Amino acid sequence: MCGIVGYIGKRNISKVLLESLQRLEYRGYDSSGIATLDNNDLYLCRETGCLENLAATLAEYPVKGNVGIGHTRWATHGEPSKVNAHPHTDCENNLVLVHNGIIENYAELRNKLKKNNHKFRSNTDSEIIVHIIEDYLKKGAKNLEEAVICTLMDLKGAYAIAALNKNEPEKMVAAKNGSSLILGIGKNEIFVASDASAVIPYTRQIVFLEDYQIAIIEQGKFNVINLNGNNVAYNVSLVDWDIDSAQKDGYAHFMLKEIHAQPKMLKKILSEKFNSDNFSLKLSEFSKIKKYSADINQIVIQACGTSFHAGMVGKFIFEYFVNLHTDIEISSEIKYKHFIYSKKSLIISITQSGETADTLIALRQLRRKGLRTISLCNVVGSTIARESDAVFYIHAGPEIGVASTKAYTAQLFALYSIGIFLGTLKRIIKKSLKSSLIKELTFIPSLMHKVLASEQQIAACAKKYAKYNDFFYLARGINYANALEGALKLKEVAYVHASAYPAGEIKHGPITLVCKELICVCIVTESSTYEKMLFNLEEIKARHGRVIAIATEGNQEIKNYADDVIYIPYVQEIFSPLLVALPLQIFAYYVALARGCNVDKPRNLAKSVTVE
């Protein structure tokens, strides 16, 4: 899972490649590298770690040329090191290539190439691609594109590649299958990238390449061909994202900025989905959902990570508002399951990036079974958005922090909107109830502001507990998903062990771990399970565990059960996940800060997980 870029044009080549890679660094930052061609001279520069390291080396050893490719890596095959950094070259250093994806039959191909005396410098699966291209050119392929087409026929797995040939110095060839790849079309210049965010400061004219399409790019022109070498038609889409939101706006980290962005973001989403004058739904927004859900008898949500947690809340929403049995599946498990869903099931894929390999593969599998699919995506034009029967964009705006925050609440918001829509369609929700539910949603942004106003108190609490190494996150009912999400945030950004449980479960085993070194973050907001939660808090206190309670404003009783209390405003239980999420995000952020972690780029992680 990596980011790739390419450029042909008259700009400063290393600057444009570095800037584009910077915007793809969320895909991985184990190593990076660029290669450029200046007539028949090939320049190659690679470094381990973040792009700053590459930029420093480039300042010392500048590269030249009008054609170049670049890569930022998240290691899959081969440790993060300079030899495993892309771009990779062939035996003779004539060809150079960057790759995102995984070549499944690489071991077999590598052995074959070794027998033909190819010398490998890295342990990556990617390097074999450039050696196969070399072989085909030696065997008589008339140019780079022909050799690339032959090579693609040999590969099994997912890839997006960009390749250069020293002997065809004015050309770049790019191709994809499974992994995303776009072309950015500028005036007398062409960009290649894993996604559009890399190129929007230069151009908003984007071609989203399809699987098995090959782009042949030369100075100021390009064409797209298929595996038979025939030209194929393509669309140029106009991408209208707001680039300003990709800056930190004075916040120390993107994560903090994105946490604070939530009230404004939800206000904007509200105005897009609902009519504020009479608290009704803007039906045009939901027409695609209607088309695919008229006769459904079941909903199946599939997602990973934070999106999965949003899906868990979605299960409560759909069962409560729509009275429809709802299953929630982890995407990476779907492939290995015996599926018993009927044709009347509606599959909802939830994904911020729209590129998560596990979610995409499950989606494809479910579509092959003839099931109808809707996706909840953030990234416009992403692969999952394009491959689903219908897409419902969550409109969180670009999320840069690797740990998802605002996309989570935007996903929840989308699920509430769809739940209210389907509940009304199926006549489970009466008109008056519908208006009062929408009205309650309209209060959420201002209630979120109130939670954010407690930031410093939450920060102090985080600082107090930052030295502890074991956390439980406990809740019941709809907020168990938030317990999982809070624990995930702490693990991701602060590298602290945290386990989440439905609070009733701890007496069945995990209670053995309760002691004064264990910190229990307990969600004890006003709800149908409040009394039961208090019993659990008693059990923890009796065993000297420490409790941080997230409770409803005005609750004094909770102070008898907790070491520290973080208050949030009252909201009815079904909507409470929208508010509870915020203190959990802030807490994890400040623990991470106190422990000196790289909040926006946690170790070993990538924003978009494009490998299985």
End-to-end CA distance of the chain: 9
* Cβ distance to ligand AGP smaller for residue 305 or 314: 305
The DSSP line for 399-419 is --SSS-SHHHHHHHHHHHHHH
CA-CA distance, 143 to 335, in Å (whole number)? 39
Q: Where are the beta strands (DSSP E) in 234-368?
A: 237-238, 274-275, 280-281, 298-303, 326-330, 345-351
CA-CA distance, 588 to 581, in Å (whole number)? 11
CA-CA distance, 568 to 570, in Å (whole number)? 7
* Cβ distance to ligand AGP smaller for residue 304 or 534: 304
Nearest to 206, CA basis, from 225, 226, 229, 181: 181
* Cβ distance to ligand AGP smaller for residue 184 or 401: 401
271 membership: H or E segment, kind and range = helix 262-273
CB of 271 to ligand AGP, least distance (A): 24
Stretch that binds ligand AGP, among 208-216, 304-312, 460-468, 500-508 (CB under 6 A): 304-312
Cβ proximity of 356 and 610 under 8 Å: yes
Q: What region does 63 belong to: left with phi over 0, alpha with psi -120 to 50, or beta?
A: beta
Site mask for ligand AGP (CB under 6 A), range 159-188, x = bound: ------------------------------
Q: Does 609 bind ligand AGP (CB under 6 A)?
A: yes
Q: Does 564 bind ligand AGP (CB under 6 A)?
A: no
* Cβ distance to ligand AGP smaller for residue 42 or 402: 402
The count of chain residues that interact with ligand AGP, using the rule CB under 6 A, is: 15
CB closest to ligand AGP, residue no: 305
- How many degrees, rounded to 5, is the angle at CA 296 between CA 433 and CA 429? 5
| Residues 318-357, interacting with ligand AGP (CB under 6 A) | 351-353, 356
Site mask for ligand AGP (CB under 6 A), range 437-476, x = bound: ----------------------------------------
Q: Catalytic site residue 2?
A: yes
Q: Does 585 bind ligand AGP (CB under 6 A)?
A: no
Q: Catalytic site residue 267?
A: no
Q: Does 383 bind ligand AGP (CB under 6 A)?
A: no
CB of 150 to ligand AGP, least distance (A): 34
DSSP one-letter code for 85? S
Q: Does 382 bind ligand AGP (CB under 6 A)?
A: no
Please tell me which residue in 2, 377, 520, 597 is annotated as part of the active site. Answer: 2
16 membership: H or E segment, kind and range = helix 13-22
Cβ proximity of 488 and 309 under 8 Å: yes
CA-CA distance, 30 to 49, in Å (whole number)? 5
* Cβ distance to ligand AGP smaller for residue 137 or 402: 402
3-state secondary structure at position 562: coil
Cβ proximity of 95 and 135 under 8 Å: no
Q: Does 482 bind ligand AGP (CB under 6 A)?
A: no
Residue at 386: amino acid letter: R
* Cβ distance to ligand AGP smaller for residue 199 or 403: 403
Q: Does 306 bind ligand AGP (CB under 6 A)?
A: yes
Residue 322 structure tokens = 């729509």
* Cβ distance to ligand AGP smaller for residue 410 or 524: 410
Q: Does 301 bind ligand AGP (CB under 6 A)?
A: no
CB of 259 to ligand AGP, least distance (A): 12
Cβ proximity of 609 and 356 under 8 Å: yes
Strands 205-208 and 237-238: antiparallel
Cβ proximity of 52 and 32 under 8 Å: no
Cβ proximity of 33 and 87 under 8 Å: yes
CB of 26 to ligand AGP, least distance (A): 9
CB atoms within 10 A of CB 7: 32
Binding residue (CB under 6 A) for ligand AGP from 152, 160, 265, 304: 304
CB of 304 to ligand AGP, least distance (A): 4
CB atoms within 10 A of CB 572: 11
Q: Does 359 bind ligand AGP (CB under 6 A)?
A: yes
* Cβ distance to ligand AGP smaller for residue 305 or 545: 305
CB atoms within 10 A of CB 363: 24
**498 φ/ψ angles, rounded to the nearest 5 degrees:** -150, 130
Q: Does 362 bind ligand AGP (CB under 6 A)?
A: no
Stretch that binds ligand AGP, among 203-211, 227-235, 305-313, 542-550 (CB under 6 A): 305-313
Binding residue (CB under 6 A) for ligand AGP from 404, 424, 525, 527: 404
CB of 351 to ligand AGP, least distance (A): 3
CB of 93 to ligand AGP, least distance (A): 37
Q: Does 305 bind ligand AGP (CB under 6 A)?
A: yes
Distance of alpha carbon 369 from its chain centroid, rounded? 26
CB of 161 to ligand AGP, least distance (A): 22
CB of 62 to ligand AGP, least distance (A): 35
Residue 68 structure tokens = 């170049």
Q: Does 399 bind ligand AGP (CB under 6 A)?
A: no
CB of 406 to ligand AGP, least distance (A): 11
Q: Catalytic residue positions?
A: 2, 607
Chain residues in the site for ligand AGP (CB under 6 A): 304-307, 351-353, 356, 359, 402-404, 492, 608-609
